[in-house]
Structure 1
Amino acid sequence: MLGNGNGATTAHAFPKLHNAAWPGVVGKGPDSEPPIDLDTMLDLTAAARVDGVGFDGVDLFLYDPHVSIDSTTEDLKALADRVRSRNLVIGSVVAPVWPPTGGGPALDEGEGRARFLQQVRKACGIAKTLKELGIRPYGVVRIDSACSPAQWAEDPQGNQAKIAETFKQAAAIARDHGERLAAEGEICWGGMHSWRVMVDLLERVGQPETLGFQADMAHTLLYTLGHNAPEDRILPEDYDWSDHATLDQALVTLTDALRPWTIDFHVAQNDATVFGSGSHDKTGRHCLPNDPNGKLDIPRHARFWLRDHHGEGQPTKAFQHICWDGCMFPNAVMMKPETWNSILSAMLSVRNAHGWDA
């Protein structure tokens, strides 16, 4: 057992435990609830405690009102001070590659691709600066295709090739900045909306040292159900959720295909339904870890992502931190300290079961 400096003990030192700040922004706005500002999200994260153990850091969305994609070095120094003052660090950051945030669809060979790559370039610059400021010891830059499955389906092969080319160019930008990109597996992104299509895209890019996969337990569960890609469903149509062995085997199939590419990981809960709020398309519903409708046994099912040999082997150690993602919760839920304590408890259960010390 390891001491954490305040008398508490934890089973392992790694992976470090992060909270995502972007649930304060994603799914919020004029057509939903107002955003929760970054300082409040940082305070909620820093205050969480379970048996004396707290979060180690935060992952950030590089978009107003949290962190401007056009932040200056002075802005980033101030950000680093705000995070450091709460005894936290920064890990992965999300590039705002979507058209409403200044980006463009990755399947557009013209202006859309140019805007997409511009946002990746800015995000990688911010990530590099935060690393140089000593506040970001690890993490990746997260991207997706910034287009819908319906757009992609207009020309599956042609659009898949276009997205792959955009991602190759984005990977070159990341490499020039000493960064890595993680493509988010989520059913609402065209070319990434099914596990087979996601593997195909990663293989087309073919640069695992620079562009890998970002797995979120809530989103990837929907891969097994074939949402937006019924032909790639793994679980049977009449699946009974009390049949745990069948779910385990489905997750073995899924994670054996995507684990070798996984370089960023979100702990999450899902009730096997989709949900969207604000301007966010419907995707895997994030539930609180103890939601009675949740279909995941979080520490048990995390093992399929975090351990090799079908989830039965040694920790892969493919990333130094894991993050909780809980987008589109009501503000009233997010403002409760007990929400973050329950989340932190789930994160600790994952690290205690699948962590390592060096």
Structure 2
Amino acid sequence: MTSFHNFPKLHNAAWPGLVGKGGDGEPPIDLDTMLDLTAAAEVNGVRFDGIDLFLFDPHVNIDSTDQQIQTLAEKVSSRGLVIGTLVAPVWPPTGGGSAMGESAERDLFLQQVEKACRIGARLKSLGIRPYGCIRIDSAADPGSWANDPAKNQQLIADTFGRACDIAERHGERLAAEGEICWGGMHSWRRMVELLQLVNRPQTLGFQADMAHTLLYLLGHNAPEDALLSADHDWKNEDLFYKKYQELTDALRPWTIDFHVAQNDATVFGSGSHDKTGRHCLPDDPNGKLDITKAAGYWLRDTSGELTKACQHICWDGCMFPNEVMQDPATWNKILAAMISVREAHGWSD
């Protein structure tokens, strides 16, 4: 496998070392280990270009000083990597608050966005972060949202609008992550509705993760918005891609951050993380996606032309077992899948 394109850049995510870990579950995997595993992966001379980070201890303290940010930049660059998208810790357990909560909760949400944007801007100034967004979600669950959908959707939109003001002051863009576990963002239709309510397309876009968006099709947590039946015959590829086209046509125009992933059409959660789309290895026999083909529905427009909306793409292996993540072969498999996506849907610059 030889790489002919150099865009989009290929990133790994460090946060699978933290998300779903701790408590009664498996211990976290430290940032140095995640960086080393990422830097060591290689497929026919092609390596990962960078890493996306979660701004949360023990990886990156959201209240990092300028010196600590400098140290982080040096740690990443010493491994031949750059930094892309940053995940803002907007949830109550991490110091944030619900985007549809009381005024004080929403202020905590925005405080975390402000801190994340400060770090992002500082990393840009250090030359280690040439692209990427600040990732957010509603920090609310679908059940609570459903108590008053109209009111809560408007509250989230208002909070996101204020977050856009913050991002613009720092020269950042926000990417709203589509997952079935986030209230107001738990279905493809509600996600589009929210983006339209905020109506700041230059500042707020969509982060599409192939593992999560697959469940949008099945209507988990929002049966009324399902595009496929719960007992869909996965051998019926024509129907699948017809509905996948409908899904991607609705969300692609908003997509500014993209995660390559595999999913087996089931939900999974570990640690304190709510159940959402299960991330699987690229070669999982139960995986429902032809990764390279499905990625094209996100990275190419309706006429088949490349959108070039994402300067980098990322692999998110959230809630993989530690044994799997600490196996170097895992990252070579993942890198090979990402190279395949880039060769089919990438470009040279």
**CA RMSD of the aligned region, Å?**
0.8
Q: Distance between the aligned counterparts of 1:160 and 1:109, measured in 2?
A: 14
Which segments of structure 1 move beyond 3 Å, counting only runs of 4 or more? Answer: none
Cα displacement string for residues 175-202 of structure 1 (whole angstroms, at most 9, x for unaligned residues): 0000000000000000000000000000
Distance of 2:51 and 2:172 partners within structure 1: 18
State which drifts further: 78-87 or 236-245.
236-245
Counterpart residue number, 2:291? 298
Which residue of the partner structure matches residue 324 of structure 2?
Answer: 333
User: 2:340 corresponds to which residue?
Assistant: 349
Q: Please give the secondary structure, in 1, of the residue aligned with 2:256.
A: strand
Counting only pairs closer than 5 Å after superposition, residues 132-211 of structure 1 correspond to structure 2 as 132-211=125-204
1:298-321 deviation digits (Å, cap 9, x = unpaired): 000000000001xx5111000100
**Which residue identity does 2:213 align to in structure 1?**
T
Deviations 1:112-154 (A, max 9, x none): 1000000000000000000000000000000000000001000
Secondary structure in 1 matching 2:51: strand
State the TM-score, normalized to the length of structure 2. 0.99
Identical aligned residues as a percent: 70
| Of 252, 276, 282, the match for 2:275 | 282
The reply to whether residue 117 of structure 1 matches residue 81 of structure 2 is: no
Look up the match of 1:244. 237
Equivalent residue number for residue 4 of structure 1? none
Unaligned stretches of 5+ in structure 2? none
Kindly indicate whether the alpha-carbon contact (under 8 Å) linking 1:46 and 1:54 is maintained by their aligned counterparts in 2: yes
Greater mean alpha carbon deviation, residues 103-112 or residues 208-217: 103-112
Q: Deviations over 1:250-297 (max 9, x none)?
A: 110000000000000000000000000000000000000000000000
What is the aligned partner in structure 1 of residue 9 from structure 2? 16
**Partner Cα separation in structure 2 for residue 282 and residue 193 of structure 1:** 12
The aligned counterpart of 2:211 is 218
CA-CA distance at 1:162 after TM superposition: 0.2
**Cα distance between partner residues in 2 of 1:227 and 1:11:** 39
Take 1:215 and 1:238, find their aligned partners in 2: how far apart are those partners?
24
Give the corresponding residue for 1:3: none
Matched residues in 2 for 1:19 and 1:329: separation? 14
Q: 1:126 aligns with which of 107, 119, 128?
A: 119
* Structure-2 separation of matches of 1:273 and 1:267: 17
Query: For structure 1, which segment, 10-19 or 230-239, has the greater mean C-alpha deviation from structure 2 after superposition?
Result: 230-239
Give distance in 2, aligned partners of 1:263 and 1:144: 15
* 1:108 Cα deviation from its structure 2 partner: 1.2
Q: CA offset at residue 9 of structure 1?
A: 4.3
Q: TM-score, normalised by structure 1?
A: 0.97
Q: Within 1, Cα distance between the matches of 2:129 and 2:157?
A: 28
Q: Conserved in 2, the CA contact under 8 Å of 1:31 and 1:279? A: no
Which residue, 56, 74, 83 being the options, matches 1:81? Answer: 74
Per-residue CA deviations over 1:148-167 (Å, capped at 9, x if unaligned) read: 00010000000000000000
Q: Distance in 1 between matches of 2:258 and 2:114?
A: 23
For 1:239 and 1:79, how far apart are their aligned partners in 2?
Answer: 46
Give the letter for the 2:75 counterpart. R
**1:319 aligned onto 2:284:** no
Aligned to 1:104: 97
Q: The residue matched to 2:221 in structure 1 has which SS?
A: coil
The answer to whether the aligner puts 1:227 opposite 2:210 as a matched pair is no
- Determine the C-alpha separation between the residues in 1 that align with 2:240 and 2:347: 26
For residues 77 and 31 of structure 1, the distance between their equivalents in structure 2, rounded to whole angstroms, comes to 34
Q: How much has 1:236 moved relative to structure 2?
A: 2.9
Q: What SS does the aligned partner of 1:224 have?
A: helix
Matched residues in 1 for 2:294 and 2:243: separation?
Answer: 11
Code of the residue aligned with 1:253 in structure 2: it is: E
The CA deviation at 1:239 is 1.4
Shift of 1:31: 2.0
Aligned residues: 349
1:109 shift after superposition: 3.7
Structure 1: tracts of 5 or more residues without a match: 1-7
Helix, strand or coil for the counterpart of 1:100? helix
1:35 aligns with 2:28: yes
